[in-house]
């Protein structure tokens, strides 16, 4: 039985991962910013007799991360696996997205996993084993889509940090994997800010990207399928750090690798249906 801590479990992928792990007999701490939002998850786990505890953890707070990890250590004495799943996505142009929203994106998507990794690594180093799973996105492997730069930049950062961390801790017996899904059905954009200024010089792109994102999420893979990929990556060490999940993730990364900068911009314009709204010159 492994002791597993999962962030962002109030809904979506985190919830699905926590339940899958608990159903196969792991000791799971399903964490979220507001523990009261975990009542349904707690009740479902209790009804099934699962070894799952809902725990409050705000990844943007040093104190909250330290308190949550201390509670896990008090109960179980160790942490075998961490799944850094909590994330947020605000849409908006590089020029007009408020600084506060950009910072919130990076605090949640980059510094959040960093806080938790720094809290658990001493435990894993002392034992000489452990697994860190960072849930990034295929958006962290391709050139930036307009209006989505904040999220994509944060996921690029997380993916690269995963590479660096993997090289640092592999000699210590610790694995790092980076899960990079395409679209999957999650309420992430219901919690996000989207651009609404009718007078914005980027209005055409704003509207096209918002529609593209909502359509993508609505038609994306089920969270259980992505959760299965997370568990498979935990269980099977084939030497990879990065795990693309979904045909769309594979297709977008392949398109990026096969394209020049100008070709990728033209591809995005075509996908978004905005024509010349994106410059396509060299």
Q: Tell me which of 151, 202, 243, 268 is the catalytic residue.
A: 151
In whole angstroms, give the CA distance from residue 21 to residue 105.
27
Angle at 66 between CA 60 and CA 69, to 5 degrees: 110
In whole angstroms, give the CA distance from residue 13 to residue 184.
9
Q: Please give the backbone phi and psi of residue 248, each rounded to the nearest 5 degrees, phi first.
A: -70, -35
Q: Does the annotation mark 243 as catalytic? A: no
The answer to whether 46 and 22 have CB atoms below 8 angstroms apart is no
The answer to whether 90 and 105 have CB atoms below 8 angstroms apart is yes
The answer to whether 54 and 32 have CB atoms below 8 angstroms apart is yes
Q: Which residues are catalytic?
A: 151
């Amino acid at each position: 039985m492994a002791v597993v801590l999962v962030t962002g479990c109030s809904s979506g992928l985190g919830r699905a991962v926590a339940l899958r792990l608990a159903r196969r007999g792991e000791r799971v701490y399903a964490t979220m910013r507001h523990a009261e939002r975990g009542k349904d998850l707690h009740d479902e786990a209790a009804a099934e007799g699962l070894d799952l505890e809902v725990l409050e953890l705000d990844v943007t707070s040093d104190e909250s991360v330290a308190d949550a990890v201390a509670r896990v250590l008090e109960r179980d004495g160790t942490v075998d696996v961490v799944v850094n799943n909590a994330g947020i996505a605000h849409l908006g142009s590089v020029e007009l997205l408020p600084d506060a929203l950009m910072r919130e994106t990076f605090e949640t998507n980059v510094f959040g996993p960093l806080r938790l990794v720094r809290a658990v690594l001493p435990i894993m180093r002392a034992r000489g084993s452990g697994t860190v799973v960072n849930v990034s996105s295929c958006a962290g492997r391709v050139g930036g889509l307009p209006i989505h730069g904040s999220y994509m930049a944060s996921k690029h950062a997380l993916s690269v940090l995963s590479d660096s961390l993997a090289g640092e801790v592999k000699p210590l017996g610790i694995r790092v994997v980076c899960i990079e899904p395409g679209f999957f059905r999650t309420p992430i954009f219901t919690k996000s800010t989207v651009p609404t200024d009718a007078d914005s010089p980027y209005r055409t792109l704003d509207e096209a990207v918002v529609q593209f994102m909502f359509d993508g999420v609505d038609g994306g893979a089920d969270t259980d399928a992505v959760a299965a990929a997370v568990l498979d990556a935990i269980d099977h060490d084939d030497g990879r750090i990065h795990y693309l999940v979904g045909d769309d993730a594979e297709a977008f990364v392949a398109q990026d690798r096969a394209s020049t900068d100008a070709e990728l911009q033209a591809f995005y314009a075509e996908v978004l249906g905005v024509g010349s709204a994106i410059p396509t010159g060299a």
